[in-house]
Structure 1
């Protein structure tokens, strides 16, 4: 926010430099971004009056002006088209310095001597965005009555510095000159001088020219209006134009300038309607109809949604509430009668409308942060006063004020002992009251408490701690003496889940995996790319109200799509042997306000192994947790190959799936290489995790290894064989591993050859061949009988 210091001093009698003001107000919590002195580099520019204009004898596009500068007359040649005899203009004398390092010297233009230059506002350093349209491409013309010969820099207030503040979102009351003046007054402990709003009204009542205002939606809290007749549309006084330009607003005409001035002054956006163009002579505030169109002030047709608030005449929309007025009721140079509006709208809807239509305005920027509805009347009455002071119109008596849900002052009880405990030093209850009173928070001591009445413009104050913060910052954080921290010391540590993550990560790092961190936001297209059916529970996702785009519109329910996006990204950049994993939260909607979260682990690779390599990685993860007795069943998951995927169980409960990615899914992710992925519900395994490992001495006795191969139906999974091996080998089994699966020549259709190795070892003796052979014979017998397997010789 831009705060012209000259404007600030209108409300605060303060004997301090701009730098001192900035330093002091920073000490009480307001963040100063910069201080701008617009007069730096400008000199020797005065206010002059054009006495005579003659045509240039040697150039059709140039004229010769005789200028009265108060102490002398100058001859200046110019090509400006908007000059005229009697115009009061800024004159740069010889030796003057202007913006961008320009220096004025005596010159001769097509044979005629020129002793200076007439200036535009741009040449005096003003940005084009704050220059009135009629002066953007020409010489600036001062209003009639401007004193001749005075310093033009002072006449334009360019010698008045501007402080730029960063206003935090919780302090919308500071988005106004009065708001920052109130902060300044509190900082320096001086009284704020608000404008005294008094003006003479006409005998004619507003009800005689305007019928009524009705509010149909709860999203409009207040609509206050007054009527002005016999309006004279002309330029604003120079002082008001200077204030507006210094605050970053372009002057337009007196009526529009007054509404903008009050918006900057009090933070209350106002709007002026051409009253004669409101045919029904009534206002209806309602929600827009879906697809309804409105021509806004910028002459653009806007298509509205039913979440937009509109101002209508009872028939058609004539304004987009809180954002921009309608073109058809715009105040123009032909306007005679005006209706002034000061209203209060739902801040969230205003923000959504402005963002959707890409129609950010000064008004929407203020409404979307929250405004006290009680300021609406003050703003309109202040505008009416200025119109009367400028003799720009006649203010009719009375008003129309639609205001049912009135904002009331909040009462907060404050405990002085808690104040001193939190801020860390002792001040008396009376000092606390005095500090709060400086912020216009009426307070008094009642027994052991301080009772404070919070004004309605302080939307950010609602609890005791808020007032404690106000006391501390106005007292000055820099005045608080530092003290050692007090309190019990606790030993920090990682959570059990975090420790489990670290153990699993270490294991995956040793297997050649790299860690990923991806966004929690995805799009519906991710579910389509995974070939998920319409009724798949993973499609039941939490939707973002204000997404950055379609690809970030929902919160992820699985990590697999993020993992495959990453694998695809690496494949397209010719990276080989890629393996990656991610620990991340997934989300699903709940009946309450917040979605439920669950931490999952995804892992995947290409080029470094097959299904069984991934299976062993899964085993390793569970081993790190402390779980060895796993069960594997064929998985039925849309994004995995139906014959090369598995679901992992422990104690009869599923804890994840893994396998080769379905070919169709690979195409969806534009991958050509075979990829293998898995997703595990590691958070649910926390209850089974061992706190640490128990190490045993290396075995003393040798192991015995046997390799077997069977012809089996292709639907028989390897885990069925593993269960038979475990049942017969019992404690003597050290390792079971599948090392080959073959189909093709020599193997009947629908059958496969599965080869595996079995390692036996006893802890207390050397195993004999007879003992091992007996176990092998039982394994062969059970596989033959239970799985219809045939041993390959």
Structure 2
């Protein structure tokens, strides 16, 4: 954002404040000054008047001019195409130094004496306005022949460039910056009178606007006759400072006013409008992507997104002032991947919503310089929802860190444009100004107060440390996380840290859930990371794929991080992946290591996170899961995640060999203290028990029944084999191996038989299953 000192002075009286002090203030209130440039015209450049112009006798492109510079009339040879008799121009007299190696001397050009130089804008340090000399007018002040241009304050200006954050769209105008300085210095904003030079005709005799009810934009249209309009040189110079001067007075007047007041303006030549009898007709309607568009004989603009160039092809124009909610606009542009023009930068950050004020300022401005305004306007203004906040003064002071008087808080908020009403219990009810799109809560309001108080004026306080119990969920989670990290690394996994964002199209492709559209990212950092991740596995698979493309034969990673559900609620997950060879090439495997298998992978996971049980998945919810090599991970009987081989088709897409994945809820993983237990010194016995069970009976039922048997001799049991044949029909045989051991004696045959019979009896009574014949 570029502002100039003299331009600011049209909105606020800063005559007693130095530019250096203004820059310091802007930095302190959060508007970072990027650069400051002083424009000072060299001594010896004076106001001159061209009295006579004749062709050079020996050069077609040169003219011999007689120029009045006050004290005398001098002869100057000039090569500019636009020089003409009667012009008031800047003249560098003999002896003037325009640069380090550029001193004006008496000279002869093709035999004709020249005493000085008629200057262009760039030659005296101003922006480029044309390819010739700079004609002057009284917009810079009263023109006195012979007076030095460095005495004209409006030309000798200080240019301040401010680096704005994306949330401060309200400061994308001279008026917006003046508003901030007004609040800080407690100076009033200068009000400008609104005087119009009206055309005899009313707008209804010239223009009709047909606007669909579904249009989101607020719009005001005016008709203007620019036949006698001429933009003064001062305003052309200012447009040159903020933008490239286009030598088009109408376009530059719109750029000037938009930059000055923050209201987005556009203009359409009347000959581009649709025609109905003697009326010019504009059509405002939505396109298929939901953008508001203006049509005449053809598409004229996409409101607040892309405006076409304004050409000098007519004398009567239709002025448009527009506003649209920046969040809504940004979302639409992102979703449609819409190409945008320069105006979108301002609109997406929040332009000035008071478009009537912008129209009044613009029409008053151009009326001074020859434009005639048609009476009346066509208006389609949407009601903008006003935000009201109840803020507690004690809460504000606790955030600031010091006591700020209630009256001071009220004065600051009033100065910033908030409407403040005092309520009960030390609470203010405030109305947020419509141009402050970034104010949403008490923290935002507090930031505004701190900006104006000044961060340097808030006293530092020592950190108060009270000795309290430091053990809490956060510390316990950190301990658990570090334990899992150590174990995972011991089992050959490397930790990764990836973005909490991922590609929405890939999530949908592989049937993972996605965040609801209305809760998704508005402005992603890149298109490939355009949504919140609902799984870490997609990131890990991509990481593995990248490693294999670099020539690695195996890759194994884990990550502990946040994932989001469709309502954007956060949970912590730990995800694992192992792809390719389970060990390095060595003499022991003859240089041909085999790929990892399901049970090797499950063992590594178990060693990393602790004990869990597996049961077959009843439903497969995403395309990563192998249809036959998969299982739910159960911790304390509750589903905590899943483990699976990566589906072969997905592995093929990512150029991966045999790959296994697992994702587990971090909260479900136990972090209990390990209690030491005495170990029996007597020999253990192993007994296998083969029972016939229905095929549709899950092993978990059998496991639960055995677990509830009260017998101290049962130390461990595991399913080791399943068998089925035609004789068994709809049944199958499960072989369960038991480890039996007593803490006080060696078990004899009778003890073992008693325990095994107890197990069989329980299984028969609870599940009606027994030994295989």
For residues 717 and 64 of structure 2, the distance between their equivalents in structure 1, rounded to whole angstroms, comes to 104
SS in 1 for 2:207: coil
Whether the 8 Å contact between 1:216 and 1:286 is mirrored in structure 2 is: no
2:484 to 485, 498, 504: 504
Q: 1:760 to 1:411 in 2, by over 3 A?
A: closer
Whether the 8 Å contact between 2:83 and 2:133 is mirrored in structure 1 is: no
Whether the 8 Å contact between 1:442 and 1:454 is mirrored in structure 2 is: yes
Partner of 2:163 in structure 1?
A: 166
Whether the 8 Å contact between 1:231 and 1:338 is mirrored in structure 2 is: no
Whether the 8 Å contact between 2:209 and 2:283 is mirrored in structure 1 is: no
For residues 406 and 489 of structure 1, the distance between their equivalents in structure 2, rounded to whole angstroms, comes to 51
1:177 to 168, 174, 178: 174
How do 1:205-604 residues align onto structure 2 when only pairs under 5 Å count?
205-211=202-208, 214=211, 216-221=213-218, 223-229=219-225, 231-234=227-230, 236-248=231-243, 250-278=245-273, 279-280=275-276, 281=279, 286-290=284-288, 305=289, 307-312=290-295, 317-325=299-307, 330=310, 332=312, 334-351=313-330, 356-361=337-342, 363-373=343-353, 375-391=354-370, 393-403=371-381, 405=383, 423=400, 430-439=407-416, 456-459=434-437, 470-484=448-462, 491-492=469-470, 493-495=472-474, 496-523=476-503, 526=506, 538=512, 542=516, 544=520, 551-589=528-566, 594-604=567-577
Note the alpha carbon deviations across 1:316-362, whole angstroms, 9 max, x for none: 643321234457xx552x5232332223323345435666443232x
Deviation at 1:2, TM superposition (A): 1.0
Deviation at 1:582, TM superposition (A): 1.8
Deviation at 1:263, TM superposition (A): 1.1
For residues 24 and 96 of structure 1, the distance between their equivalents in structure 2, rounded to whole angstroms, comes to 35
Whether the 8 Å contact between 1:48 and 1:91 is mirrored in structure 2 is: no
Deviation at 1:308, TM superposition (A): 0.7
Q: 1:576 to 1:467 in 2, by over 3 A?
A: closer
1:695 to 676, 699, 704: 676
Q: How many residues align?
A: 712
Whether the 8 Å contact between 2:93 and 2:104 is mirrored in structure 1 is: no
For residues 527 and 433 of structure 1, the distance between their equivalents in structure 2, rounded to whole angstroms, comes to 49
Note the alpha carbon deviations across 1:745-789, whole angstroms, 9 max, x for none: xxxxxxxxx99999876644567899999999x99xx9xx99999
Partner of 2:589 in structure 1?
A: none
For residues 723 and 764 of structure 1, the distance between their equivalents in structure 2, rounded to whole angstroms, comes to 26
Deviation at 1:694, TM superposition (A): 0.8
Deviation at 1:113, TM superposition (A): 8.6
Q: 1:202 to 1:676 in 2, by over 3 A?
A: closer
Gaps of 5+ in 1: 291-304, 533-537, 742-753
Which range moves more in the overlay, 572-581 or 67-76?
A: 67-76
For residues 331 and 125 of structure 2, the distance between their equivalents in structure 1, rounded to whole angstroms, comes to 36
Q: 1:647 to 1:186 in 2, by over 3 A?
A: closer
Tell me whether 1:24 sits opposite 2:44 in the alignment: no
For residues 77 and 200 of structure 1, the distance between their equivalents in structure 2, rounded to whole angstroms, comes to 39
SS in 2 for 1:179: helix
For residues 678 and 465 of structure 1, the distance between their equivalents in structure 2, rounded to whole angstroms, comes to 40
> What TM-score results when the alignment is normalised by the length of structure 1?
0.73
Partner of 1:197 in structure 2?
A: 194
Deviation at 1:5, TM superposition (A): 0.8
Q: 1:53 to 1:89 in 2, by over 3 A?
A: farther
For residues 773 and 564 of structure 1, the distance between their equivalents in structure 2, rounded to whole angstroms, comes to 51
For residues 218 and 654 of structure 1, the distance between their equivalents in structure 2, rounded to whole angstroms, comes to 49
Note the alpha carbon deviations across 1:54-100, whole angstroms, 9 max, x for none: 5585xx7864755748267465675x6665666646658667344xx
Deviation at 1:411, TM superposition (A): 7.4
For residues 554 and 208 of structure 2, the distance between their equivalents in structure 1, rounded to whole angstroms, comes to 78
For residues 431 and 394 of structure 2, the distance between their equivalents in structure 1, rounded to whole angstroms, comes to 19
- Aligned-residue RMSD, C-alpha: 5.2
Whether the 8 Å contact between 2:98 and 2:124 is mirrored in structure 1 is: no
For residues 84 and 194 of structure 1, the distance between their equivalents in structure 2, rounded to whole angstroms, comes to 39
Q: 1:443 to 1:566 in 2, by over 3 A?
A: closer
2:132 to 139, 143, 161: 139
For residues 440 and 180 of structure 1, the distance between their equivalents in structure 2, rounded to whole angstroms, comes to 13
For residues 599 and 52 of structure 1, the distance between their equivalents in structure 2, rounded to whole angstroms, comes to 82
For residues 486 and 564 of structure 1, the distance between their equivalents in structure 2, rounded to whole angstroms, comes to 47
For residues 787 and 84 of structure 1, the distance between their equivalents in structure 2, rounded to whole angstroms, comes to 117
Partner of 2:661 in structure 1?
A: 677
Q: 1:82 to 1:598 in 2, by over 3 A?
A: same
For residues 674 and 131 of structure 1, the distance between their equivalents in structure 2, rounded to whole angstroms, comes to 66
Q: 1:675 to 1:440 in 2, by over 3 A?
A: closer
Deviation at 1:635, TM superposition (A): 8.5
For residues 524 and 436 of structure 1, the distance between their equivalents in structure 2, rounded to whole angstroms, comes to 42
SS in 1 for 2:22: helix
Partner of 1:8 in structure 2?
A: 8
